[in-house]
């Protein structure tokens, strides 16, 4: 069983006819993802990539039965796109856009908080359930079906981990790139909870980075709930200097517990199998799965 998206998800692309929306929608469709249309204001009624274009998300929900959206909208308009999707009844929203103003995200997150919406991102690679649905920008061929859930702050490390897991003879139930911005929708702990509840996910890989407390929160939750499934953890940024942002807006060491070393220690103290290099993820996961 997958989490969040599967072959039955009815997916729309906000920013459908733009350059990024077009390119990645083509890739998603080629993968076999059930893309039922897209939204570009002012172009409703047209066809694009052999799918209908709608003026609003509400139109896409009403006419195409959309329940999932992926957003390729410029940063200044992306928060409004998230709010529009939630307002229209979309239940899973994947915001790919990088550089959304923090104040805009505060507003968007507050709006969706009581709408029963699952937001992934922003500034993320998206979600993939191998052989069923690719709702994101990841290279689909890397991901093989299997029993391991994957949650990551990093796009490229998501792909590397998936490759390592496949080479170890395992595979992925669903991979979630949660994004590296200071304010995101779904946290590491929330993604871990979904995997813990999924009967087909037998092990979990958690990839974090310096900055913030998401990994520590997840690790403590895992231990408090009995370490029910084996978790392998990796923290990026082990050589990062204090006080310098490293790629992601949220990846900045602000205190003693924000460093990679501190996070690795906290993970280990809470029963997570910590690796020092992403090249070890697959082998360690295979070993702990054997008990």
In the structure encoding, which two tokens stand for residue 92, read together?
A: 């899973």
Nearest to 251 by CA among 283, 193, 209, 284: 209
8 is catalytic: no
Are the beta carbons of 81 and 105 closer than 8 angstroms?
Answer: no
What are the respective helix, strand and coil percentages of the chain, to the nearest 5?
A: 35, 20, 40
Which member of 8, 24, 48, 248 is catalytic? 248
Tokens of 206: 């958690």
Peptide bond into 122 cis (omega under 30): yes
* Whole-angstrom distance, CA of residue 146 vs CA of residue 174: 9
Instruction: Give the Cα separation of 280 and 263 in Å (integer).
Output: 18
Contacts of 278 (CB under 8 A, 6+ apart): 157, 160, 161, 164, 207, 234, 236
Active site positions, annotated:
248
């Amino acid at each position: 069983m997958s989490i969040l998206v599967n072959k039955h998800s009815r997916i729309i692309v906000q920013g459908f006819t733009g350059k990024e929306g077009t390119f990645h929608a083509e890739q998603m469709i080629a993968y076999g993802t059930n893309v039922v249309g897209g939204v570009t204001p002012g172009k409703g009624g047209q066809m694009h990539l052999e799918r209908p274009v709608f003026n609003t998300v509400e139109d896409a929900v009403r006419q195409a039965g959309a329940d999932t959206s992926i957003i390729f909208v410029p940063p200044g308009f992306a928060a409004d796109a998230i709010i529009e999707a939630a307002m229209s009844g979309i239940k899973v929203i994947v915001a790919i856009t990088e550089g959304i103003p923090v104040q805009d995200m505060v507003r968007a997150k507050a709006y969706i908080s009581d709408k029963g919406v699952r937001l992934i991102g922003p500034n993320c690679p998206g979600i993939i359930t191998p052989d069923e649905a690719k709702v994101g920008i990841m290279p689909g061929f890397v991901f093989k079906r299997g029993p391991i859930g994957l949650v990551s702050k990093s796009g490229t490390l998501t792909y590397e981990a998936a490759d390592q897991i496949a080479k170890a003879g395992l595979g992925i139930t669903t991979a979630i790139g949660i994004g590296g911005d200071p304010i995101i929708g779904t946290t590491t702990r929330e993604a871990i909870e979904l995997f813990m509840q999924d009967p087909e996910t037998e092990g979990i890989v958690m990839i974090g980075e310096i900055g913030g407390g998401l990994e520590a929160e997840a690790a403590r939750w895992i231990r408090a709930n009995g370490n029910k499934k084996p978790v392998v953890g990796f923290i990026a940024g082990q050589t990062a200097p204090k006080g310098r942002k490293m790629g992601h807006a949220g990846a900045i060491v602000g205190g003693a517990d924000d460093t990679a070393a501190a996070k690795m220690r906290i993970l280990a103290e809470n029963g997570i199998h910590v690796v020092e290099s992403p090249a070890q993820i697959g082998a360690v996961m295979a070993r702990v799965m054997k008990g």
